[in-house]
Amino acid sequence: MAATTRGINKSLLPSAKTRSTIAKRLSGVTGEMTTATVAEMEQRHAWFRRLSAEHRSWVTLVAQAGIDGFVRWFAEPEPSGPVTSEVFGSAPRELARRISLYQTVELVRTTIEVVEDQIDEVMPKADRPILHAAIVQYSREVAFSAAEIYARAAELRGAWDARLEALTVDAVLRGETDETVLSRASTLGWRSTAAAVVVVGPAPDRESAQALEAIRHAAAIAHTDMLGAVQGDRMVVVLGGADLTTPGRAAEVTAGFASVFGAGPVVVGPAVDHLMEAAASAREALSAFRAAPGWPEAPRPVASSDLLPERALSGDGHARRALARDLYDPLRAAGGGLLETLVTFLDQGLSVEAAARLLYVHANTVRYRLRRIHEVTGYSPTDPRDAYALRLALTLGRLLPGSRREEPAEA
């Protein structure tokens, strides 16, 4: 097989002197080629016609630089890989933000096609096969150069977006969600004006950017907005969407990407009305995440409200007050012997018959009151986990100021 130079068979290349002669003839028509290229782009591409005069001049510079670069490369005594960075370096960097990668590909394709047509029209027949073979190689390198420019621009945008997203999530956690933060969130794709939920879990084993993209993909499938960041050994995800207020919906969405987190508990905070209020959800989720080791059998994901006992024991004042306010106080206010029945039932090891004997009531009365306790608090005394929360709520309700009253001794 004949030796090749970056895709061109050397046996097909003429001598350096011949190439130099052909290049001189070619350089005399580069102006015509550029004019023909711009005219063809004007005719073919509506996006080009919509550009301002300044931006069209930038595209013309790129086309001219590409054609001139081809002539210089072809005239080199020792052919090597063409250096195409100067092609796109001739236009301001802003051009990459004005036209897309697809449009750049169209620009390169149109320029090459026009140059090939012009070669057939204005160059001697003997020069045409050589120039056609050379233009194929050169156009490939130009395409690679364009792809590299856009790839680097995408990497820079991605790195900046990641930093902006991390700052936004940090502001949400600290309760500093003002209009500036909302504007940043909107820039990052946050569209929800309704509920928001904060999810906290262990940092992933994989690279953080890949993990966040996997979560973003899962959230998009669930029609949910998402912001996320890795903070030390934990990963924080903020979800947004009107349906997150539906009971169990946030946990359902989180279950779709829970495997992306590292090993350990994944906690879902309560839904709040807006991203501006997400700090409240974050506070509960972070408290529950810290307390989660106290319940290693917890489901994954687990709601922060399901970890109220562990949060209370780990020093979370909000959790202690929630247990007293939402469980103990409603039972005390309901009357009907509910509080006394609960105390007796728990003291008797969750035995209905034993509680009935001590209360001097029928066992069915105890069962009825247990159902009422479930209705009033949302916790079932017959469930061991719920009974644990109710027992702690009784203790906290008796201790916390505002809940200390003599419990009714109703039979």
Element (H, E) at 1: none
Instruction: Indicate whether 259 and 395 sit together in one domain.
Output: no
CA 113 to chain centre: 40
Query: Which residue among 155, 186, 202 closes a domain?
Result: 155
- Count up the domains in the chain and report the number: 3
In a domain, 132, yes or no: yes
Alpha carbon distance 359, 343 (integer Å): 11
| E strand spans, 143-240 | 196-202, 225-231, 234-240
Query: Which residue among 155, 182, 217 closes a domain?
Result: 155
Instruction: Indicate whether 290 and 367 sit together in one domain.
Output: no
Q: What is the DSSP letter of 298?
A: -
Query: Where residue 324 sits, what CATH number does that domain have?
Result: 1.10.10.2840
In a domain, 184, yes or no: yes
Element (H, E) at 328: none
Task: Report the SS3 class of residue 228.
Answer: strand
Instruction: Indicate whether 143 and 182 sit together in one domain.
Output: no
Alpha carbon distance 234, 330 (integer Å): 36
- The number of residues in the chain equals 411
**CB-count burial class (<10 Å; 0-12, 13-18, 19+) for 326:** middle
In a domain, 85, yes or no: yes
Q: Which two tokens stand for residue 6?
A: 């970056």
Q: Which two tokens stand for residue 223?
A: 């029609």
In a domain, 138, yes or no: yes
In a domain, 309, yes or no: no
Query: Where residue 192 sits, what CATH number does that domain have?
Result: 3.30.70.2730
How large is the angle between the packed helices 384-399 and 338-347, nearest 10 degrees? 120
Enumerate residues 6+ apart whose C-beta is below 8 A from 127. 22, 25, 26, 119
Instruction: Indicate whether 15 and 53 sit together in one domain.
Output: yes
Give φ, ψ of 234 to 5 degrees. -130, 155
Instruction: Indicate whether 100 and 238 sit together in one domain.
Output: no
Domain that residue 355 falls in: 317-399
Query: Which residue among 272, 303, 334 closes a domain?
Result: 303
Give the closest residue to 96 by CA, choosing from 45, 161, 151, 134.
151
Q: Which two tokens stand for residue 322?
A: 């929630």
Instruction: Indicate whether 265 and 333 sit together in one domain.
Output: no
Q: In a structure prediction context, what are the per-residue pLDDT tens digits for the chain, which is 411 residues long?
A: 344 444 444 445 667 777 788 888 888 888 888 888 888 888 888 888 888 888 788 888 878 887 887 888 777 766 565 555 555 655 555 565 667 766 777 777 888 888 888 888 878 888 888 888 888 777 777 777 666 666 665 555 556 667 778 888 888 888 887 788 788 788 778 888 889 999 999 998 878 888 888 898 899 889 999 998 888 889 999 999 889 989 889 999 999 999 999 999 999 999 999 888 888 999 999 999 999 999 999 999 999 999 999 999 999 999 999 999 889 999 999 888 999 999 999 999 999 999 999 999 999 999 999 999 999 999 999 999 999 999 999 999 888 776 544 454 443
Instruction: Indicate whether 182 and 71 sit together in one domain.
Output: no
In a domain, 161, yes or no: no
Residue 116 in contact with residue 132, Cβ under 8 Å?
Answer: yes
In a domain, 23, yes or no: yes
Instruction: Indicate whether 88 and 199 sit together in one domain.
Output: no
Instruction: Indicate whether 194 and 251 sit together in one domain.
Output: yes
Alpha carbon distance 208, 11 (integer Å): 51
CA 278 to chain centre: 17
Instruction: Indicate whether 151 and 274 sit together in one domain.
Output: no
In a domain, 169, yes or no: no
